[in-house]
Amino acid sequence: MHTFTLPDIGEGLVEAEIVSWLVAEGDPVGLDEPLVEVETDKTVVVMPSPVAGIVVRHGAEAGETIAVGAVLAVIDDESSENDEAGSAAVVGTDDLPVFIEEDPPLVGSFGKGSTILGPRPQGSGQSGNPVLALPLVRKLARDQGVDLAALTGTGPNGRITRADIMGAVEQKADMAVPGSATRQSSPVVAAGTDSEVVPMTKLRRTIADRMSQSWAEIPRVTTFDDVDATRLLQARKALSLRHGQNITLEALVVKAVVPVLGEFPEFNATVNGNEIILHHRHHIAVAVDTPNGLMIPVVHNAGELTVLEIAAEITRLSGGASDRSLVADDMSGGTFTVSNIGAVGGGHGTPIVPLGTTAILSVGRARDSAAVRGGAVVVAPMMPLSLSYDHRVIDGALGRKFMARLMENLAEPALFLV
């Protein structure tokens, strides 16, 4: 038996959520064939099987969360002990031990003379059998007020799953509303109220945790301004026409901000205790609005790329963020962040500084407004800028100097395109 544990597939990964199993219990799997989809804090990853054999046990159900180092799957690789016995018999899932309550999984092999123990009693359900459920499922039942003993589990060996719990909750909610039909939608209506209880996805929980931590740790200051984007928009159009590809506004903003970060390195830094780490490379994170929530992939070494290369990379990262196909490296290592809220019609805002960085720039939608040129009032596309920064590292005067130099670049693209 080969015990496959959840590896650390990203920077500081602690746990992952099972999205779906691609090979069912009892089915064969080949070496390096897709076995399971797991969702980390940053992305969805398809994990291949480390050996060829029969999947005899899943370590968790879809929707459940397991820690790094916990058993992900047990695979019978039909190795030496089966060969010695002269057969390739596979241990059936009904014969495997069931781990319940807080007991840790037993890691090992079923060798000659081994005794397979059944589950110990944990109370009886409707059929008089023990109530089998993982700790996460038991916690969900307590939170939702569901009596485990009243349920019939649909999992292996009659184990109660998360789906069984949520089904009971929905049934209870429907019974509380006279004349209501069975509902097909996933949100759960709280009994006796007009409210909905919608469980957070893994990504949404991660966003919530990171935003709360940033808000608690980083004393943020935001400075605002507007820049005449006439020349910037003209340059974008001319480049797109000349090269036959869409040059995103973010690509030009990233290219404009890199030399300013070189001049003011405090904005491309990390606070580490009583030290400030000034990064010499510019890994620019770009906020992407996706159907699953906000994601911030990273354009690595942006200072070494041309505008065309930056535009192509942003297009790749945006598509990968939307379909959750990015790898961990694509989502890691950002030293400064650009957020184009103008893409969804936004103007000024107060962006939260991402953890591990000291600043974030938000760019709003350019709108025709009154502007002064050469002493005359004209109509020009004015683009809102909002710069949030860590006040532990950056003082207000430095923040204004950074903004002034950035506005010079955005107003005249020739200053950063040379």
Backbone torsions φ then ψ of 183, nearest 5 degrees: -90, 145
Q: What value does the mean pLDDT of the chain take?
A: 80
The per-residue pLDDT for range 210-224, each reduced to its tens digit, is 889 888 899 999 999
Domain 135-199: assigned CATH number: 4.10.320.10
> How far apart are alpha carbons 141 and 166 in whole angstroms?
9
Give the class (CATH, top level) of 2-95.
Answer: mainly beta
The per-residue pLDDT for range 45-77, each reduced to its tens digit, is 788 888 888 898 998 988 888 888 889 999 988
Reported confidence tier of residue 262, pLDDT bands at 50, 70, 90: very high
> How far apart are alpha carbons 211 and 331 in whole angstroms?
16
User: What is the bridge-based pairing of β-strands 220-228 and 376-390?
Assistant: antiparallel
DSSP class of residue 186 equals S
Residue 187, pLDDT above cutoff 70: no
What confidence score (pLDDT) does residue 305 get? 95
- DSSP bridge partners of 48: 34
What confidence score (pLDDT) does residue 176 get? 55
> How far apart are alpha carbons 31 and 349 in whole angstroms?
50
User: What is the bridge-based pairing of β-strands 359-363 and 336-340?
Assistant: parallel
DSSP class of residue 180 equals P
Region of poorest pLDDT, from 74-83, 275-284, 317-326, 346-355? 74-83
Q: For this structure, is 391 an active site residue?
A: yes
Q: Which two tokens stand for residue 164?
A: 């069984």
Region of poorest pLDDT, from 63-77, 374-388, 389-403? 63-77
> How far apart are alpha carbons 177 and 193 in whole angstroms?
9
> How far apart are alpha carbons 135 and 141 in whole angstroms?
10
The per-residue pLDDT for range 123-181, each reduced to its tens digit, is 444 444 557 766 556 767 877 888 888 888 876 667 787 778 888 887 776 665 555 44
> How far apart are alpha carbons 362 and 351 in whole angstroms?
7
Q: Are 317 and 326 in contact (CB under 8 A)?
A: yes
The per-residue pLDDT for range 70-111, each reduced to its tens digit, is 899 999 886 644 444 333 333 333 433 333 333 333 333 333
CATH superfamily of 203-417: Chloramphenicol acetyltransferase-like domain (3.30.559.10)
Q: What is the 3-state secondary structure (H, E, C) of 242-293?
A: HHCCCCCHHHHHHHHHHHHHHHCHHHCEEEECCEEEECCCCCEEECEEECCE
> Where do the structural domains in the chain lie, given as residue ranges?
2-95, 135-199, 203-417
What confidence score (pLDDT) does residue 170 get? 77
pTM exceeds 0.75 for this model: no
Helix pair 249-263, 307-323: axis angle to 10 deg: 110
Residue 404, pLDDT above cutoff 60: yes
> How far apart are alpha carbons 406 and 371 in whole angstroms?
18
Q: Which SS3 state, helix, strand or coil, does residue 98 take?
A: coil
Q: Residue 18 is inside which H or E element, if any?
A: strand 15-21
